């Protein structure tokens, strides 16, 4: 009876989907606790690529129950698209997918508001995925939101109308954006009918009952800790608590039920959207990381910004999450690199510090780097950790020392089987 957590330690896209899919086998339930269709979790099985946005990444494992928790914001339109893509691949998800009645809904005008808000910010835009995440969480905390449980209420259409009118009033405060409300609304209501075939549950009771019965739960994070609404690089963040604390409020699980917090980090670092990125490489090395690592957003297709791994940043998110184990992904991306750098410390305000400053958005930070030899060898055919090149294993050992936390697994490719225990 325990809850383990998998979450991202950087700015998202660390490879959480692949790791959850791999580890899900050992659990009874996989539960998403926050975020929404801004997430894009890629899983490669038998040569086929799947991208999940709202559905938990345990869905490809037979017998495992997948729960969309109360902390998630769900868009019926993207949800139906995801359901249809699973159906097209003959994945029998329906009996194994549960949705919290308390999860909040994203309606079309949330997406329009997201776009209008970004347009009003000009150069200061956050780089949102424009999936309506911010406006939906604003309505949740503003106590105006619609929830999945409302979909089956007789007055749902009235409730929808009230929130829509409020949004249309707000949109007038922003620069003009074009949107086709009628078409989106029609699609929305068609999708609402389709998602009613899913099983809506009081998920806080469901997951706690599962724990009482001795079941094992894996909580799947979306985004990354540096995008956390409280502790990320505010305001260039998302609108939910992406750190381990979000598991408790996003699923209704008490803190003492959490066992392992498994943090996922790339062997380097990426960020998509605007905001500070202390180790960003704007040169050809950054371009090489993007090309070799195929660093293009799984949700928006935007090129991801790339840079070296950042130890102060990771020590910060290890601290915030209470990380017990780390999994390093995408080590293979360095196969053709002569030299690999690691930022070990920051320098700002005439001092050396490993603490992220409050004003990280405005402050100029210099990094102190340590460099390591590359291995100039393809890992593609190496199917055991101990068979990986010595320089690659040395890089992992050095990271482990710098992060003062056990690196339990290393991933060397997008496929399920390219994940090795140490
Ligand atoms: P998530 O949002 O954390 O689930 O990550 P994404 O799916 O957005 O991005 C991770 C990308 O890296 C996906 O395209 C994965 O298929 C890919 N990937 C995951 N692990 C590895 C790895 O070890 N090596 C390589 N080369 N690609 C990986
Ligand atoms: P996964 O789960 C990477 C980023 C956006 C933007 C900021 C706010 O795949 O790791 P939002 O749409 O939430 O208003 O955008 O957060 N962002 C992500 N970046 N991976 C994600 O999810 C992200 N979800 C949001 O690019 O900078
Ligand atoms: Mg992603």
The residues spanned by each domain of the chain are 2-101+200-262, 104-195, 266-421
User: Which bound ligand lies closest to the C-alpha atom of 12?
Assistant: 2
- Residue 170 CA, ligand 3 centroid: distance in Å: 30
Residue found under tokens 């502790």 = 231
The two domains 2-101+200-262 and 266-421 share their CATH topology (first three levels equal): no
Q: Is 75 in the pocket of ligand 1 (CB under 6 A)?
A: no
* pLDDT on residue 1: 72
8 A C-beta contact, residue 156 and residue 105: no
Report how far apart, in Å, the C-alpha atoms of 315 and of each of 77, 325, 349 are. Answer: 38, 13, 20
Confirm or reject CATH 3.30.9.10 for domain 104-195, answering yes or no. Answer: no
Which of 414, 415, 417 is the best mutation target for the ligand 1 pocket, counting ligand atoms within 8 Å of the beta carbon and taking the most? 414
Tokens of 216: 């094992």
**What tokens appear for 149 in the block?**
């449980």
Tens of pLDDT along the chain (422 residues) come to 799 999 999 999 999 999 999 999 999 999 999 999 999 999 999 999 999 999 999 999 999 999 999 999 999 999 999 999 999 999 999 999 999 999 999 999 999 999 999 999 998 999 999 999 999 999 999 999 999 999 999 999 999 999 999 999 999 999 889 999 999 999 999 999 999 999 999 999 999 999 999 999 999 999 999 999 999 999 999 999 999 999 999 999 999 999 999 999 999 999 999 999 999 999 999 999 999 999 999 888 999 999 999 999 999 999 999 999 999 999 999 999 999 999 999 999 999 999 999 999 999 999 999 999 999 999 999 999 999 999 999 999 999 999 999 999 999 999 999 999 99
Taking the centre of ligand 2 as the mean of its atom positions, its distance from the CA of residue 223, in whole angstroms, is 6
Contacts of 35 (CB under 8 A, 6+ apart): 72, 73, 133, 221, 222, 223, 238, 240, 242
Closest Cα to atom 17 of ligand 1: 414
**Nearest residue to 15 via CA among 42, 47, 45, 54:** 42
pTM of this prediction exceeds 0.95: yes
For residue 110, indicate whether it is catalytic: no
Cα dihedral 205→209→211→215 (10° resolution) = -120
Helix ranges (DSSP H) in 263-408: 284-292, 311-321, 390-403
Cα 414 to middle of ligand 1, angstroms:
6
Distance CA 254, CA 306 (A): 36
Point out the ligand 1 atom lying closest to the alpha carbon of residue 331.
23
- Kindly state which CATH superfamily the domain 266-421 is placed in: Adenylosuccinate Synthetase, subunit A, domain 3 (3.90.170.10)
Annotated catalytic residue 13: yes
Contact of 129 with 38, CB cutoff 8 Å: yes
Residues 208, 252 contacting (CB under 8 angstroms): yes
| 3-class secondary-structure state, position 253 | coil
Atom of ligand 2 nearest to the CA of 274: 27
- Pairing outcome for strands 339-348 and 269-271: unpaired
Tell me the CB-side half-sphere exposure of residue 200, using CA atoms within 13 A.
17
> Encoding tokens for residue 138?
């604003």
Catalytic residue among 4, 21, 28, 41: 41
- Specify whether the CB–CB gap between 272 and 300 falls below 8 A: yes
Task: Tell how far the Cα of 416 is from the centroid of ligand 1, in angstroms.
Answer: 11
Distance CA 336, CA 417 (A): 22
Say if domain 2-101+200-262 classifies as CATH 3.40.440.10. yes
29 lines ligand 2 (CB under 6 A): no
pLDDT at 100: 98
pLDDT at residue number 176: 87
């Amino acid at each position: 009876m325990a809850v383990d957590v998998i979450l991202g330690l950087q700015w998202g896209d660390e490879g959480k989907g692949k790791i959850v899919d791999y580890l899900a086998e050992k659990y009874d339930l996989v539960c998403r606790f926050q975020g929404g269709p801004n997430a894009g979790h890629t899983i490669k099985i038998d040569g086929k690529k799947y991208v999940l946005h709202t559905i938990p990444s345990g869905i490809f494992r037979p017998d495992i129950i997948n729960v969309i928790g109360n902390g998630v914001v769900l868009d019926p339109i993207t949800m139906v698209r995801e359901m249809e893509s699973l159906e097209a691949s003959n994945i029998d998800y329906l009996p194994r997918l549960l949705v919290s009645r308390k999860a909040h809904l994203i309606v079309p005008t949330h997406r329009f508001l997201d776009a209008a808000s970004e347009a009003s910010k000009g150069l200061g835009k956050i780089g949102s995925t424009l999936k309506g995440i911010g406006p939906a969480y604003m309505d949740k905390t503003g106590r105006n939101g619609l929830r999945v449980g409302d979909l089956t209420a007789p007055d749902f259409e009235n409730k929808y109308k009230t929130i829509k009118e409020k949004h249309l009033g707000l949109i007038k405060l922003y620069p003009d954006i074009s949107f086709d409300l009628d078409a989106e609304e029609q699609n929305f209501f068609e999708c609402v009918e389709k998602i009613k075939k899913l099983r809506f549950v009081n998920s806080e009771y469901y997951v706690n009952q599962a724990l009482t019965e001795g079941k094992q739960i894996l909580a799947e994070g979306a985004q990354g800790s540096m995008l956390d609404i409280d502790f990320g690089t505010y305001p260039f963040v998302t609108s939910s608590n992406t750190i381990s604390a979000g598991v408790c409020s996003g699923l209704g699980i008490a803190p003492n039920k959490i066992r392992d917090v498994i943090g996922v980090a790339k062997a380097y670092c990426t960020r998509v959207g605007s905001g500070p990125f202390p180790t960003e490489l704007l040169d050809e090395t950054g371009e090489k990381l993007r090309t070799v690592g195929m660093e293009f957003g799984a949700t928006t297709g935007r090129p991801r910004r790339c840079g070296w791994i950042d130890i102060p940043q990771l020590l910060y998110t290890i601290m915030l999450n209470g990380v017990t184990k780390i999994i390093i992904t995408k080590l293979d991306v360095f196969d053709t690199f002569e030299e690999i750098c690691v930022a070990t410390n920051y320098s700002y305000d005439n001092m050396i510090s490993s603490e992220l400053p409050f004003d990280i958005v405005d402050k100029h930070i210099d990094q102190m780097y340590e460099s390591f030899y590359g291995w100039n060898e393809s890992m593609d055919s190496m199917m055991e950790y101990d068979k990986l090149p010595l320089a690659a294993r040395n890089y992992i050992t050095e990271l482990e020392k710098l992060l003062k936390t056990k690196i339990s697994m290393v991933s060397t490719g997008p496929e399920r089987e390219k994940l090795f225990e140490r």
